Amino acid sequence: MTEHNPMADQKESPEENVQLRCNRCNKPITPATAILTETGYRCAECVREQQRAFDTTKRLDPFLGFAVAALISFAGSWLAGLLGFFTILVAPGIGTLISNAVRLVVNRRRSKALNKAVLVGAIVGALPLLILAILPLLSGSGPLLTGGGNLMPLIWRAIYAALVSTSAYAQSRGLRI
């Protein structure tokens, strides 16, 4: 005769069978809270601690990154009104220039705050000439209402602002475009 196992009658959920442990601290973790890394599953605390190790900026670095990004972006926005279609080709290069200049100024230190400062600096640098081009439209004396003028410099400056800020941010985060 075969023995009857009362435990076999109970159905177990797959989550109850899975027993995960953080591969760094060996703490038990659930599948819902486990974070898959390149080296295996880790708990949230170990992932946060590891990410903090990559934050190497000093207190002044985000301010320097903002200033460098804003200055270079402003210079590029002046060119954007003159370059026309070529703005589409030049703006990502200026974004790369911003990222490389910031890396040089902050001695290759990095953090999320620095990346955000580069993004905001690139946007702020691109805005003054764009706003100056928009103001005549808002006051009622713009080229659309007076029947003359060319809106293309305004359009190219808007495209420049979008392209330079996104490419500078992507480059500062380490993405290659």
In the predicted structure, residue 154 carries a pLDDT above the cut 70: yes
- This prediction's pTM: 0.68
Q: How many residues does the chain have?
A: 177
Q: Which two tokens stand for residue 18?
A: 């899975």
101: pLDDT confidence band, cut at 50, 70 and 90? very high
* C-alpha of 83 from chain center: 26
In the predicted structure, residue 66 carries a pLDDT above the cut 50: yes
Pair 150, 84: CB distance under 8 Å = no
In the predicted structure, residue 5 carries a pLDDT above the cut 60: no
- Rounded mean pLDDT, 88-110: 93
Euclidean distance between CA atoms 139 and 113, whole angstroms: 37
- Rounded mean pLDDT, 164-175: 89
Helix, strand, coil shares of the chain, percent, nearest 5, are: 65, 5, 30
Which residue, 49, 51, 24, is CA-closest to 39?
24
In the predicted structure, residue 149 carries a pLDDT above the cut 90: no
146: pLDDT confidence band, cut at 50, 70 and 90? very low
Pair 83, 154: CB distance under 8 Å = no
Q: How many CA atoms within 13 Å lie on the side-chain side of 84?
A: 2
Euclidean distance between CA atoms 91 and 141, whole angstroms: 29
| Most trustworthy range by pLDDT among 52-56, 158-162, 170-174 | 158-162
Instruction: List pLDDT tens digits, range 115-145.
Output: 999 999 999 999 999 998 888 777 766 555 4
**Residue 132 is which amino acid?**
L
Phi, psi of 5 (to 5 degrees): -100, 110
**Residue 54 is which amino acid?**
F
